[in-house]
Structure 1
Amino acid sequence: MTQHSRNTPQFYLTAPTPCPYLEGFQERKVFTHLVGDKAGELNDLLTHGGFRRSQSIAYRPACDLCRACVSVRVIAGEFEPSRNLRKVLHRNADLVGEMRNAVPTSEQYSIFRAYLDARHHDGGMADMTVLDYAMMVEDTHVTTRIVEYRRRTDSGEQGGELVAAALTDVLGDGLSMVYSFFDPDVDDRSLGTFMILDHIARARSMGLPYVYLGYWIEGSSKMSYKARFLPQQRLSPNGWLRVDATGIAAQD
């Protein structure tokens, strides 16, 4: 029998299931395990090829009749926020973000639970317990951080109320936003958008060229917000294509 090293990825294909984004379509995914000493290198390589990470699994859509899911990454060094995005930054100027080791807390879970109940009560994560949340944060063999966003205290320092958090992988060429969530009671702050803007600024300050946002699907209202962050690159069969404010794509 052939023996495979933990550092040799084996790929598997899921059975078809209803697509959560496009009605009437079936989705399939190809996935592999991110384990062993080379997990970080493999995660970098697979992310460049359109994979996403979930705990110790890297996956990519592999649907039979559809190629709607398109990987998107923002070009951090060239990004300039639009007037509307600057308003989001101003609206959240009282928040302070801190990138910390990926350690789950009850405070995080409280907001995570409220976020799921308000936004995704019928989704695949709706029944996640505090232990499930801990596994989502801790079950990683790659460089993962959690960015917490808190209100400033009266002294102007961090340490106030937690309002949002983002689980983030630090790649060789960027930050990959694995999952973000926020207090639904402050929905008027546009915190999802704010966290992306903050990650773009963080990537730039860290000398990293990209922020990976996952999949964008043209025509999907759930994914439309990702097209606001320009210039960006979208993964095509011919490689990463640049998309700027003119809407014209050119091969990177």
Structure 2
Amino acid sequence: MSNLRTLVFFATPAHDCSYLPDREATTMFVDPRAHIDKKLYSQLTALGFRRSGSHYYRPHCEQCNACIPVRLKVDEFVPDRNQRRVLNRNKDLECRLVPAAFTERYYRLYAHYIEERHQDGDMYPPSREQFTSFLVEGTTDSWFLEISDSDELIGLAAIDLLDDGLSAIYTVFSPEHEHRSLGTFAVLWQIEEARRRDLPHLYLGYWIKECKKMNYKTRYKPIEALQDGHWREMKTQ
């Protein structure tokens, strides 16, 4: 059984940064042969690691520390006016938590989302193998939040259950329902689910100040940032 003391880590060669232009990135990842159980995964997440399929990783760039792990303190969260509107707008939706697995129904929504919203990203073009390796393989206590309008699946959020919280892995939604702000709705749902389970945190991945598409994470307050090995509340405007 692996633990923090026995884990072996590797670093990738420098490669183009996916978020900041004209910068190179290096990623540290856990030896894929290690057995990562829920306890160890929770410890790694508290140290700033994320999961992508069977891979556990964190940025490890020599001259850049722009990628900051962030998490929300759910008990102290109070939705702002816009977030309350999102909740009210989606009162008619049905939400169901199911074990993470591959289905054609899930994949069609995922592929449609990537094709419409992220043609300029690393995940384009989508494939079934990509969906499986990203969201299904390597799962421990992992779930999909189905968001449905009547019988139509319009949103899907991948969520990991940790010892001290939930980890928001990825959310996709039907572009035709963009007016519902389903990305925001999925985060708000996970906040309430963490509260229901009496878990203190919702981990939101990395925040990069210079990356506009990550600005939404600072709208959830109070948000904590992992800097210099310590979680501290991050002051945002």
Q: Pick from 198, 210, 213 the counterpart of residue 219 of structure 1.
A: 210
Equivalent residue of 1:123, what SS? coil
Equivalent residue of 2:101, what SS? coil
- TM-score, structure 1 normalization: 0.88
Mean alpha-carbon deviation: is it higher for 186-195 or for 33-42? 33-42
- TM-score, structure 2 normalization: 0.93
Q: How does 1:42-121 map onto structure 2 within 5 Å?
A: 42-121=40-119
Rounded Cα–Cα distance in structure 2 between residues aligned with 1:199 and 1:191: 12
Q: CA deviation at 1:238?
A: 4.5
Rounded Cα–Cα distance in structure 1 between residues aligned with 2:85 and 2:187: 14
Identity, in percent, stands at: 37
Mean alpha-carbon deviation: is it higher for 56-65 or for 36-45? 36-45
Matched to 2:92, the amino acid is D
Q: CA offsets per residue over residues 153-186 of structure 1, 9 Å max, x none? A: 4xxxxxx210001111100000001111111111
**In structure 2, what is the equivalent of residue 133 of structure 1?**
131
Rounded Cα–Cα distance in structure 1 between residues aligned with 2:36 and 2:19: 33
Rounded Cα–Cα distance in structure 2 between residues aligned with 1:45 and 1:200: 20
Answer with 1 or 2: which has the greater Rg: 1
Equivalent residue of 2:86, what SS? helix
Q: CA deviation at 1:150?
A: 0.7
**In structure 2, what is the equivalent of residue 179 of structure 1?**
170
CA RMSD of aligned residues (A): 1.7
Q: CA offsets per residue over residues 182-223 of structure 1, 9 Å max, x none? A: 111111111111100110011001111111010011121110
Q: Is the contact between residue 7 and residue 31 of structure 2 (CA under 8 Å) also seen in structure 1?
A: yes
Aligned length: 235
Matched to 1:194, the amino acid is F
Q: Is the contact between residue 55 and residue 135 of structure 1 (CA under 8 Å) also seen in structure 2?
A: yes
**Are 2:207 and 1:209 equivalent residues in the alignment?**
no
Matched to 2:29, the amino acid is F
Equivalent residue of 2:213, what SS? coil
In the alignment, structure 2 segments of 5+ residues that lack a partner are none
Q: Is the contact between residue 72 and residue 214 of structure 1 (CA under 8 Å) also seen in structure 2?
A: yes
Q: CA offsets per residue over residues 27-67 of structure 1, 9 Å max, x none? A: 11100146665432221111001010011111000111110
Runs of 4+ in 1 over 6 A off after TM superposition: none
Rounded Cα–Cα distance in structure 2 between residues aligned with 1:91 and 1:108: 23
In the alignment, structure 1 segments of 5+ residues that lack a partner are 154-159, 248-252
Rounded Cα–Cα distance in structure 2 between residues aligned with 1:171 and 1:35: 21
Rounded Cα–Cα distance in structure 2 between residues aligned with 1:65 and 1:39: 32
**Are 2:161 and 1:170 equivalent residues in the alignment?**
yes
Q: Pick from 183, 190, 200 the counterpart of residue 199 of structure 1.
A: 190
Matched to 2:223, the amino acid is Q
Q: Is the contact between residue 54 and residue 133 of structure 2 (CA under 8 Å) also seen in structure 1?
A: no
Matched to 2:189, the amino acid is D
